[in-house]
Structure 1
Amino acid sequence: MIEIIYSKENEKNEEYLRVPKNIRQIGIPDETRKIYVEDYAITFINQLASKGTKEPKAAVLVGYTTYNNSCEYIFISGVVEAEEVKIRKNNIEFLEKTWTCIYNKIKKYFPNQDIVGWFLSELAFNGESSDHIIKAHIDNFAGSDKVFMKIDPIENEEIFYVFQNGHFIRQMGYYIYYEKNEEMQEYMVQSKENIKEEQPLEQVEDHAAKSFRSIIQERKDEKHEKKIATFMYTTSSFFIMIVIAIGITMMNNYDKIKSMEQTLNSISRAVNQEDEKIATDWFAKNQNQEDDNTKEIASDESAQENDDTNASAQAAEAMNQTAIPVENVNGDVQKQETSEQNTAGTVTEINSSEEEMQKTLEESNQEEAAQESASPKEEATEPKYYTVQKGDTLAKISMNLYNTKDKVKEICELNNIENDNKIQAGQSLLLP
């Protein structure tokens, strides 16, 4: 139960207002006056109304009235049948013995309750009020806090009225609340023998319990449906957000992919240009080296030809120097012999000169052979260079050129490299 502090009219003391937790709203209740009827009480009223199809019946409503925040709260927790009430077409009379019986029942079954209104079942009850009903209300239930209730047995419609300014004002709604209400159950058990159309206690109790269970089930179904609807709405919203996020991401990714593609193309072009430049430089360097080697070879050949020419010239000069002079021999035989002897000496000198010339040629050939053997050695000792390619390391270069990593230190020393991991593509390295 929810407890709300309230102040009762014409009283200064504050009390607690207990508002039922399990309630069912019928119609649209007034904001300035709220009527709460307990389920067992409404069940008993429906029993009287079912008998009212043959003759009208009256009953007194018991409970209490309180106020909170300018709002009147009327709680009806019990119903006492008014016996021996004379209900005529134009007159309703509550006899003295009728009131005696009513008070005795209230004292017995509802000792802490007050009279808050009355109930009337009447066939062909037309209009919201009539003179004989107004007169009965004023005579027996005076006060603005007393309500009048009726149920049309044909329409089976429950209607509440309040009396103001000389006429009844219909209330557009009320609440049915559910509690244990042992007082009303005991009264219903004791009064069942006086009901002409008997209804067993089990049926009364089952009707209330069934009504309560059906209402609780309806609320559970409504909550379940609301949960399902909320879940579906949340799920749909979530999927819609996911689809939107995916679309936005795809658009952003498309722009990023396009930008990345352009960047990769630029990098690829730059790399290709760098590779072409490196290849061009490498070929140009090799071509320069080949040209230098060609020039050196041509220079060596020219020098060798000059040496051969000089050697031939020296040999010819030597032959000219040792040439035999031709003389005309005149005289006798003796002179000829003398000439022959002289000639023999000359021939000996010529032979000696030829040996010297042969020795000179051999020495010249030995010098040429020595030059030729010295030329490759000079070429072998000529410095070698290596152009660093992309992805090269000194260890990799050493392995490729010397099949060992032991040359890394020598390469660093020759090129003044302090950190063997810091080399750049295109860098020219002097090799050991």
Structure 2
Amino acid sequence: MRAENQLPKNIRQIGGPVGTTKVYIEDFVVTFLKALTTDKNTFVRGAILFGEKKSIDNETVIFIRGAVEGQNIELDLDETVFDDKVWREIYQKKERFFPDLEVIGWALSRMGFSVRLNDKIKKTHFENFPGDGKVLYMTDHLEGEDAFYVYRGQDLVRQSGYYIYYEKNPMMQEYLIERNQKLKEAVSYETMLEAKRDEKIVRQFRTIVQEKQKSSRTKVMMKRLSSSAAMLLVLILAGGMFYYSRLDNSSSFGDAIHGAVETMGKGVKDNVSMEEENKESGTTTKQLPTSTEKADGTEAGTTADKKKTETGTTAATASTQKSAQSMARSRTYVVKKGDSLVSISRRMYGSRKYMYKILDANKIGPKEHIYPGQKLIIPSITK
């Protein structure tokens, strides 16, 4: 039988094939391998190739008609294992989708590592794909390179070119349909899990905020009670000393007043220290009149009130301006299919921890879900 009657007619030549060994790979297989190499989830991808080897007019012709994903090759080659379990799964897929073909070789994509061989790649091939005519197809999507190697003469020899041919390939189409369906199911399942994780994180965040608010209110109340108790104790001590000084003739009234003043001074000092602590934590405590204020508190109190009012007005104005600037820098994001609060936070801020800002800005409850087409306010953050 003439060679032209056995070779595919609808072909496309890649490179300049020469020599007595020719490689033909079917278009569906090429499309599948390119989809694997452009997957951004990992830099190393692999596949097992199925086909047949023929001798036509004293030439060795290798036909590659099918391929399945080799998930065990997604690790570094030092960790890639072709044990009995892996081979059993490979042959199960072969019998299901490509029963009339044989394992003809493998494909390897390593982004950024070119298509040159090294000792690890050769060792993997020799141990798992021995025999003349077994092929290795290497690609580097980052560099835009690919190459075929054929085992011949105890070594892997690089081909100067190969052929892509076009024909109906129901076996490969069936495998691709089932694989794509499983990928869709996996994505849907992962989306559901991520939504549940988001909901759990939101609930935990709400609980933590509530506990912190409750703890803060308790601390403020305890500080106020402590301050009031200290002032009351000072007054009781001063009154007691005055009373006993009237009863005890050996103690003069001046000594009693002196002791009361010292005791009261200590109480005032403690109260002032407590007020400074309260200022640092965001709370204020009313001060006792100082010696520079008038007895009725009119002039000095008016001046202090003016300063306090001016300070408060300035702070409020600055806060309003800052809030207005922050709102001006806020953005709007339209939710897309497959989005989650975590993924949106990562996309807009570069970190998942700002998802709570998005929750608060949009008043989203812990049990609420986002949906495609929903518009979310993306608040600005000050890092």
TM range (shorter): 0.3 to 0.5
Larger radius of gyration: 1
- Give the structure, 1 or 2, with the largest relative contact order (CA under 8 Å, sep 6 or more): 2
**Length-normalised TM-score, structure 2:** 0.45
